[in-house]
Structure 1
Amino acid sequence: MSRGISSEGFGENALKFISNACFGLFVIIVLTLTLIAVTYQPPDPWLQSSKFMSKIFTSVENATYQKDTSILVTGEDVLSISDIGSVAFADPPATITNVTVRAEDEAYLRASMGSCDSSIEAINCSDPGVMVAIKKANLATFSDINLYAYRTPVRGSANTDCDVAWRFKPKKEHSHRMYRDFRRYKLRREASCGFTVIDIGDLHSGENARPQKFRINDSVPTLDQADMSKFRNSKYLYYSRGGDYCKGMNQFQWSFLCALGEAQYLNRTFVVDLDFCLSGSNNPGHGDETGKDLRFYFDYEHLMEATSVIEQKQFLKAWQDWNKIHNHNYIPVRVVPDLKVTPMQLRSEESTVLWRTFDQPEPNNYWYRVCEGESEKVIQRPWHLLWKSKRLMDIVTTICGSLEWDFDAVHIVRGQKAQNKELWPNLDADTSPESILQKLKGKIEEGRNVYIATNEVLPGYFDKLRTSYKIHLLDDYKHLWAPGSEWYNETKALNNGHSVDFDGQMRVEVDSEMFFRGKKHIETFDEITLDCKDGVNTCK
């Protein structure tokens, strides 16, 4: 007789099976959650904003950057651009405060009332009341800038004129740059013994108060014997020239900041090559140009102050001299030829020189590849280290000052994109003067100062807009880089006595800064044309 399986036994077995399965699933879930908790790293705001910038201002195609070259964003612009994630910059120095009219200034005026001879026409510019009147006038007139330290007013060209120099910064600007102005003020003495400013001169009109020009100190310091003794005890990160050389400016930034980020992560001095190649893509009408100087485009003085760097020629000479002086007692060097060696693996390396070589074929010889993969989680690109050249920023300041920092800005992209009807079928027509004028009428009040940042080269192209607006273009200010100008003389001295062309990349940098400083910003794509920025069917 066969033995049957009772329903009771079957139920017990089924219950045990389900219990074991549930317990096993529970263990798997616990282990998974534990693993996630151990390995998870919260998003780094530096990395997030850097990734965002790379998506907006560059696009990668076959590992080579193809991008809009008409705007250049550097570290000092990051916080000026909306939509970019939080980036932690240091607060401005506590010793620099916005100047206001203090209570003690007002008390001085009240105490001095009736104690002067109002019949005297000539004004004593050093009288504290003059400074109070000038501060009040500036606060009322320049609402878009923060005013900082004043110098004592001095006599102008007439008995009622006083010239004074002061420092300022636009309220919208988040970098630590400070600017200087010196103006002529015409004042009237009141019967109460106070003073009233009746006229303020234009930018840099107060010639008698012109401060001695602050010399840009971006020269390469020489190493003396005392410095040589420190050379052996320092640690350096040296990148050989890779495939990034002569690539576009956006790719250079992305790679250069990767290298600086690795140097900071490893706590090493980075070796900077000032010999720069300007890509033809950043200078329309020209091919790639070697022999440029990095200091033409970026603020090397700020870089030297903000982090540990050494110029490449100086570094190589010091290295060679050390070996000669010390009888070929070579300093320790580790050559890193493989991108697979990550910064994390080099963290404990004790060699004086870490030398990354980039001898592989493209794209495996790009500097920015060092920061890809797992390295991306730990290397923070230090955007705050890379500022535009002070010499170019002086041009920006002068143009903004001539407009009293009160203007709107329009960015018009034309050039090759307007000629390519397959990718941008409407751009040419949409950026015609007539079309632009119609678009602006609903966005910018008639009669306003409007600065147009553009790659359009045809003279007079935007003249029709002058019927409704006060139009300003970069070429209206050619005297600021013409022979004999401060920019011309300083770059010539930097270039061993040879004059420097004001090239397409320099134009882009000035145009970019002018665009960022406008009260209103009108972009070509989305606001002037419905064509996609990167061509047909690429709109997001």
Structure 2
Amino acid sequence: MATINKPLKPKPLTKLRSLIPTLILCISAIALLCLFSSLISTNGFSFSSPKNLPNKPRRQHTTHEKYLYWGSRIDCPGKHCESCEGLGHQESSLRCALEEAMFLNRWAESSCVMDTLYDMDLISETVPVILDNSKDWYRVLSTSMRLGARGVAHVGGISRFDIKENSHYSNLLLINRTASPLSWFMECKDRNNRSAIMLPYSFLPTMASQRLRDAADKVIALLGDYDSIHVRRGDKIKTRKDRFGVYRTLHPHLDRDTRPEFIQHRIEKWVPPGRALFIASNEKTPGFFSPLAVRYKLAYSSNYSGILDPVIENNYQLFMIERLILMGAKTFIKTFKEDDTDLSLTDDPKKNTKSWQLPVYNMDEVERK
């Protein structure tokens, strides 16, 4: 492979901004799931690669199904609807909604635009999902209106355990979660309790729509034997002044650790020289990672525009394809360590919302490791 050092070509921000409300409506409407305890056990799950799943006909609904609706305010909590979250938080919220539907043995409903991002049939192999523009959804709405108080309950601040154990809720056709002002994933109170997580974090990344998976497969085939790194910078290296005018950051080593010279030092023990290295990043500076080309054969998604441009309509789809390519590498190095077995560019914790610290740029402590 020839050395490639073109940076990732960003999509116009206006196009991304115009999609965010649609995506919010699309994933937010995710929320209706039917009685499927006969298909799946909540005691444990095993997931196959999307390529290995058999082509099964979509499960048909019956008159005995129950539904969960989370509503349209996915990650626009309270009065902050102008600052809706990105795909990462929205996926956390989506996973939370799917898990609750699984826990309550209900079907989930999702918006019609969501199928441009995810394979609905593939998700339904584990968590049955219907679209909110389908005849099934209109049937649910009309039936719930006819049943009145016996058809629907608008709940907020009520735990999933109470909903499951209280016969008043468990016997209703439709549970509506839109009464809660919180982000979806904030309702999952036990997110740090591994035993409480019913869907692995790898579930939704492998549920990309068929056309996105096909595009990723074509790029992976062209890359051949390669390694990959995800370099998250822009939104995570922000600083602010304290009351003494000193700049501080939530991730003190991140800006340093994601610069080319530090990346090379960090990954040299994992990626031998001469390897093809696929880079996905939100860094906007042209040629930022070019210094790595003296050691590796660099590749970016922008090098495969002939494959990707006909498929990608927004940055969400681009990131989902890049994520599949990253995961397909022989060695995948993340920005932050998420699991104990992960390789990462930095040792800073990903979750830090309180401790603003002085940025560190020197090499001293890196050399000591």
- For Structure 1 versus Structure 2, the TM-score category normalised by the shorter chain is 0.5 to 0.7
Corresponding residue for 1:177?
Answer: 51
Cα deviation, residue 348, structure 1? 7.1
Q: Which amino acid aligns with 2:314?
A: F
Corresponding residue for 1:413?
Answer: 232
Corresponding residue for 2:16?
Answer: none
Q: Which amino acid aligns with 1:457?
A: K
CA contact (8 A) 1:415 1:455 kept: yes
Provide Cα deviations, 1:368-397, integer angstroms capped at 9, x if missing partner.
455437xx8997533486323332222221
CA distance in 2, matches of 1:401, 1:394: 11
Cα deviation, residue 461, structure 1? 2.3
Q: Secondary structure at the match of 1:355?
A: strand
Which of 450, 464, 483 is the matching residue for 2:291?
464
1:179-198, aligned counterparts within 5 Å?
Answer: none
Cα deviation, residue 356, structure 1? 2.1
Provide Cα deviations, 1:437-494, integer angstroms capped at 9, x if missing partner.
4444454222111111221122322223222221111111122222xx3x25xxxxxx
Q: TM-score, with normalisation over the residues of structure 1? A: 0.44
CA distance in 1, matches of 2:288, 2:357: 26
Corresponding residue for 1:307?
Answer: 127
> Residues 346 and 264 of structure 1: is their aligned pair in 2 closer, same or farther, counting only changes over 3 Å?
farther
1:108-119, aligned counterparts within 5 Å?
Answer: none
Corresponding residue for 2:92?
Answer: 254
Q: Which amino acid aligns with 2:111?
A: D
Q: Secondary structure at the match of 1:310?
A: strand
Which of 126, 138, 143 is the matching residue for 1:317?
138
CA contact (8 A) 2:143 2:151 kept: no
Give aligned-pair identity as a percent: 23
CA contact (8 A) 2:153 2:169 kept: no
The two structures, once aligned, show a CA RMSD in angstroms of 4.2
Q: Which amino acid aligns with 2:86?
A: G
Bigger-Rg structure (1/2): 1
Q: Which amino acid aligns with 1:244?
A: D
> Residues 460 and 346 of structure 1: is their aligned pair in 2 closer, same or farther, counting only changes over 3 Å?
same
> Residues 457 and 234 of structure 1: is their aligned pair in 2 closer, same or farther, counting only changes over 3 Å?
same
Q: Which amino acid aligns with 1:239?
A: W
Q: Secondary structure at the match of 1:306?
A: coil
Q: Secondary structure at the match of 2:153?
A: strand
Greater percentage in strand: 1
Provide Cα deviations, 1:82-107, integer angstroms capped at 9, x if missing partner.
xxxxx95447xxxxxxxxxxxxxxxx
1:158-173, aligned counterparts within 5 Å?
Answer: none
Corresponding residue for 1:264?
Answer: 102
Q: Which amino acid aligns with 1:463?
A: S
Which of 65, 70, 74 is the matching residue for 1:234?
65
Corresponding residue for 2:362?
Answer: none
Corresponding residue for 1:381?
Answer: 198
Q: TM-score, with normalisation over the residues of structure 2? A: 0.61
CA distance in 2, matches of 1:413, 1:426: 13
CA contact (8 A) 2:144 2:151 kept: no
Unaligned runs of 5+ in 2: 1-42, 77-83, 240-246, 338-343, 360-369
Q: Secondary structure at the match of 2:51?
A: coil
CA distance in 2, matches of 1:474, 1:521: 16
Which of 310, 321, 331 is the matching residue for 1:520?
331
CA contact (8 A) 1:232 1:352 kept: no
Which of 250, 255, 263 is the matching residue for 1:436?
263
State yes or no: 1:451 paired with 2:278.
Answer: yes
